[in-house]
Structure 1
Amino acid sequence: MLSDRFGRTIDYLRISVTDRCDLRCSYCIPKGFKGFEEPENWLTFDEISRVVAAFARLGTRRFRLTGGEPLLRRNLPALAASLSALPGVEDLSLSTNATQLSQHAQALRDAGVRRINVSLDSLRGECVTSITGSDSLGKVLSGLATASRIGFDAIKINMVPMQGINDGDIEAMVAFCIEHGFILRLIEAMPMGSTGQHTVGLNLQTLLGQLQPRFGLLPSTASLGGGPARYWRTPDGKFTLGLITPISQHFCATCNRVRLSVDGTLYMCLGQEERFELRPLLRAGCSDAELEAAIRAAIELKPEKHEFLEKPARVVRFMSMTGG
């Protein structure tokens, strides 16, 4: 198994297949931003497969396709099929804004994607338009309906509560998830780039204190993926709530993941700058042994923790540049 210098096992790789997106969420990509990676610098599907195969040989078992918006990458189901067939790949999942999901859900399921996370911050059309810069709610709901009908193992709704923007929409989102059997995950806004640094999120510890008595939430130890969410369930088991709290209660001591950006850079932490570039090695024709050695060297760079509270202006790259 891969482990870092702090004794943490690295068994989860998040793979960004594009830094581009068809939305401009206020906490992610600035309106008018044009500084996207040039296509010639994107890892090819063969290069991505080589990296994933190397991670799998080193013991990593969970992999997630991300972006930007990953469904903007042409022929993504073909990549998913290639990755899911690799020895050692036990769990392949996808994060998406779902605007393209209705067209691709069946092909993704057939290719081996088993779980989907969908970003959705409100059920009010005008709020979604304000946050994303696009009248996209109808497309997202259509994508969710298609994915639900096809029967993915778990569909999670990722919601970023923001003060004065969508903080009044949480109970409606809970009701929506109960109705459709979705898992709701609330995520604290992170100060990444100018967009994230100007976003005022909610303290989810405080919010949990309000939601627990309202819905009778009980702590859950269910395994619902490889990420950092802590989960609660209603007594009847019909609703599951996950909280991701990088600000109010960080989870750095158990961090098990690294991120591969579209240009082949491994990022060790969302809140730090340690990185390792794999693309030059891949395009120089490195051997599998050399690639594995590079990955091991990269993992040694993983920092002990982020410093979102201590140094909130440190990370100037946008979330889409790292991979969600």
Structure 2
Amino acid sequence: MDRFCRKVGYLRVSVTDRCDFRCTYCMAEKMQFLPRRDLLSLEELDRLCSAFIDLGVTKLRVTGGEPLVRRDVMQFFRRLSRHLDSGALRELTLTTNGSQLARHAADLAACGVRRVNVSLDTLNPEKFASLTRRGQLAPVLEGIRAARDAGLRVKINTVALKGFTEEELFPLVDWCGAEGHDLTFIEVMPMGQSAVEERLDQFWPLSDLRARLAMRYSLTDMAETTGGPARYVRLAETGQKIGFITPLSHSFCESCNRVRLSCTGELFTCLGQEGSSDLRGVLRESDDAAALKTAIRAGIGLKPAGHDFDYSRQTVAGAMRRTMNHTGG
């Protein structure tokens, strides 16, 4: 529990800051990644995650960067699967760009992963290459098919970008409906070195996106939640579920139940605040699980009331120079 009586049951853990894409809203084209020696080992990440699970975390999402580019990452999933077997962990999930998913989908399913989130902003190969700066659409679509064939539920995450997503909206909705994938739209957040300069021009409030959807479909609000910040609607014409994550136009901080653990052992209790706690030092000082749990509790105790993201006055407030791949997506 944090000091605002919010129960933290959801941990997002980054296994690497590296990514094989350079998406324009996420990172610079020429990124300076961490030296590999600075990353926690998979064994250390397992110790940390296990301590969080002992303290009551029941949902764990593996992120990056792109998590599937980490060498031997499936060993990490195999280690964590024991917590699913014991019942201590209710869900083990993954967020990925999909580029490496085809070769890992079956192994992920064997480890107890039941659903994955795939970041996908367009179905147009040329636009995809431009937005990701180096990615190719075909392997991502192949990975999504492989995940579905392995029995994984796929949710598509799309960042709403002004001047870009308007044309992609209905093709993505129609494709997800035909393929049986849920779809969630996310407002672009002011994070990264270019946050102040670029994010305001990129911001498309999801209230506008929803209004455009309502021009073609009948939307019914749903009470359903997956334990995260998304609010969902059902499209009457297709029956599919559409989610909206609105950190800018409608803050969800009062119910935030998550924290993020970076690949270097930093505990970030808020995506939109600079504060963090160093767990790596405690982890490496001794094998004492009690000391590690004490440090985790102290870090959770620093969780702020909320972030300061704001575009409402046509300026960028609350911008974070820290990039998403450093924080953990």
TM-score normalised by structure 2 residue count: 0.93
Aligned: 1:57 with 2:54: yes
1:103-156 Cα deviation digits (max 9, x unpaired): 11111111121110000000111111111002411111111111111111x211
1:210-266 Cα deviation digits (max 9, x unpaired): 21352111111223x322100111236631100000000010000000000000100
Matched residue, 1:275: 276
> Paired residue for 1:77, among 52, 57, 74?
74
Contact 2:21/2:135, CA 8 A, preserved across alignment: no
1:46 Cα deviation from its structure 2 partner = 1.4
SS at match of 1:214: coil
Q: Distance in 2 between matches of 1:38 and 1:55?
A: 26
Contact 1:28/1:320, CA 8 A, preserved across alignment: yes
Contact 1:189/1:196, CA 8 A, preserved across alignment: no
Structure 2: give runs of 5+ residues left out of the alignment: none
Q: Distance in 2 between matches of 1:238 and 1:44?
A: 43
Within 5 Å, give how 1:254-269 maps onto structure 2: 254-269=255-270
Aligned: 1:319 with 2:321: no
SS at match of 1:249: coil
Alpha carbons of 1:82 and 1:210: their partners in 2 closer, same or farther (altered >3 Å)? same
Matched residue, 1:173: 172
Q: Distance in 2 between matches of 1:239 and 1:21?
A: 31
Q: Distance in 2 between matches of 1:236 and 1:128?
A: 28
Within 5 Å, give how 1:47-196 maps onto structure 2: 47-86=44-83, 87=86, 88-152=88-152, 154-196=153-195
SS at match of 1:55: helix
1:190 Cα deviation from its structure 2 partner = 0.1
1:37-68 Cα deviation digits (max 9, x unpaired): 22122111111111111111111100000000
Aligned residues: 319
Q: Distance in 1 between matches of 2:194 and 2:22?
A: 10
Identity across matched positions, percent: 42
Q: Distance in 2 between matches of 1:212 and 1:43?
A: 46
Root-mean-square deviation over aligned CA pairs: 1.4
Contact 2:195/2:320, CA 8 A, preserved across alignment: no
SS at match of 1:231: strand
Contact 2:218/2:237, CA 8 A, preserved across alignment: no
Alpha carbons of 1:260 and 1:100: their partners in 2 closer, same or farther (altered >3 Å)? same
1:62-85 Cα deviation digits (max 9, x unpaired): 000000000001121221121121
Q: Which runs of 4+ in 1 moved over 3 A?
A: none
Letter aligned with residue 108 of structure 2:
L
SS at match of 1:104: helix
Matched residue, 2:219: 217
Contact 1:125/1:135, CA 8 A, preserved across alignment: no
Alpha carbons of 1:170 and 1:237: their partners in 2 closer, same or farther (altered >3 Å)? closer
Contact 1:160/1:201, CA 8 A, preserved across alignment: no
Matched residue, 1:302: 303
Structure 1: give runs of 5+ residues left out of the alignment: none
Within 5 Å, give how 1:190-269 maps onto structure 2: 190-197=189-196, 198-199=198-199, 200-223=202-225, 225-235=226-236, 238-269=239-270
Letter aligned with residue 18 of structure 2:
R
Letter aligned with residue 323 of structure 1:
G
Contact 2:195/2:321, CA 8 A, preserved across alignment: no
Q: Distance in 2 between matches of 1:41 and 1:238?
A: 47
1:267-294 Cα deviation digits (max 9, x unpaired): 0111101100111111111411111111
Contact 1:127/1:166, CA 8 A, preserved across alignment: no
